[in-house]
A and B are shown apart, each in its own frame.
Chain A
Amino acid sequence: MKADEWAKKIVGGDVRAASRLMRDIDDRMPWVPDVMKALYPHTGRAYIIGITGSPGVGKSTLVDCLIEHYRARDAKIGVVVIDPTSPFTGGAILGDRIRMQRHSTDSGVFIRSLATRGSMGGLSRSTSDILRVMDAMGKDVILLETVGVGQDEVDVVHTAHTSMIVMIPGLGDDIQAIKAGILEIGDIFVINKCERPGVERMEREIMMMLELGGHRDDGWEPAIVKTEAIKGVGVRELMETIVRHRTFRESPEKKRLFLRKALRIELLNNIRDRISQRVLEEVGQEEGLLSAVDEIIAGRKDLYSKSEEILNGILCE
């Protein structure tokens, strides 16, 4: 299929064409950039909400609540859920759809599970491209649920327009995570499972951390919302807070700043990705890479000279 025909199908609502492109993005098929070029003019409209936090805090259940809320207002929803790839086998079990069951046959909801495939930072390498495909499909809101390893999921802040951090009372490591820098990435802090003891203490601790952190560059004061997602408690306040943040960042100047940061990272990632692919072609894929490694181990070359040699091989063409 030609790139522009493919893009046209996706924009026209062909679900299968879209999901196949997402697969090809994930599998790094060589024709993907051409289709993305054709799709690009149809993107830039969707509002992206990031949901991050440790495993078991209820991210998927919250996503389910958000879907419900937006569908009641007839918004078209895309959902991207990311789970870890096993570093030992390369396989993954992607089970987040289970919590979103009631929306699985709603034609206004498109859910896609992704495996990290070795990428760090809570997202998969394919995330930004896949979000763009959903955008081109005409999704009004896209919910992006990260892996949930807790401490280093900072990538989401450059991808999502509103980032929420989900925590539960009684898990000491949440506050650890804030210390480690998650503070900067949360526009909204959600204390889920708020029927549990320790909510007030947790709220106080977050507030203290936020105060210690000083003012954010963009002037937004992060909000704290308490929810019990499984019963829908607090979801209305959460939605109102999301609307408030969305309105806050609506000014052309703020939007431009966000876009500039986001695209800078995406452009750099895209270049890096394509160079890596090109390098693998140059050395003869994984096998060639390993024989280069063996050369280094055998002491015939040092790592830096080998790296230069390979790079020169591409650059001199």
Chain B
Amino acid sequence: MAVKRRIRVLVAKPGLDGHDRGAKIIARGFRDAGFEVIYTGLHQSPEQIVEAAIQEDVDVIGMSSLAGAHNHLFREVLKLLAERGAADIPVFGGGIIPDEDIPKLKKEGIKEIFTPGTKVEDVVRWVEKTIHPRE
């Protein structure tokens, strides 16, 4: 008998910029899709994000970055996840991220990048298709 798990997502806003509207809209979209969303608010350090992801046993981490520090911050999160033995938790990103950075980030292990103009439904659909909670 298969019990269906509810998807748990961490929505985090790393870095110093103070704009969390996008992250909040995504969080609501996820809730409306039936996910449990851990929302940690602004100014999260990579350490805080990784710690929250582990304590909350999330299936995926979504990060929003608008101020240009994405390369450093996203990379740092991946590195810390690996250090904590949690590299199996997939990470995706969104926000203002230049096209030329995207292939690089994906190569380093970010599963997907959503740029401005992406519909909330598309992100939800991507999570539903890509993220499978462990058995």
Contact = CB atoms under 8 A, between A and B. Distances in A.
A30 B3 contact: yes
Interface in A21-67: 22-23, 26-30
B31 interface: yes
Nearest to B59: A23
Contact of B56 (A19, A30, A105, A285): A19
Among B55, B86, B133, the most chain A Cβ lie within 10 Å of the Cβ of B55
Interface stretch (B34-42, B61-69, B106-114): B34-42
Interface stretch (A107-115, A144-152, A213-221): A107-115
A90 interface: yes
B28 A93 contact: yes
A101 interface: yes
Secondary structure at chain A's binding surface: helix, strand, loop or mixed? Answer: mixed
B1 to A, nearest CB: 6
Contacts of B1: 30, 281, 285
Contact of A90 (B8, B34, B55, B85): B34
Contact of B31 (A23, A93, A111, A112): A93
A89 B34 contact: yes
B36 A110 contact: no
B38 A98 contact: no
Interface stretch (B44-52, B90-98, B115-123): B44-52
B83 interface: no
Contacts of B5: 23, 27
Interface string B70-94: 0000000000000011100000000
A133 to B, nearest CB: 12
Contacts of A93: 27-28, 31, 37, 39
A280 to B, nearest CB: 9
A97 B54 contact: no
Contacts of A98: 39-41
B55 A15 contact: yes
A94 B37 contact: yes
B54 A92 contact: no
Given A28-B3, A115-B36, A92 B48 contact: no
Contacts of B37: 91-94
A86 interface: yes
Contacts of B32: 86, 89, 91
Interface of B: 1, 3, 5-6, 8, 27-28, 30-41, 45, 47-48, 51-52, 54-57, 84-86, 133
Interface of A: 15-16, 19-20, 22-23, 26-30, 85-86, 89-95, 97-98, 101, 104-105, 110-113, 115, 117, 281, 285
7 contacts: A23-B5, A27-B5, A89-B33, A89-B34, A105-B51, A110-B55, A111-B52
Given A93-B27, A97-B39, 5 more contacts: A27-B6, A89-B31, A97-B52, A112-B56, A113-B56
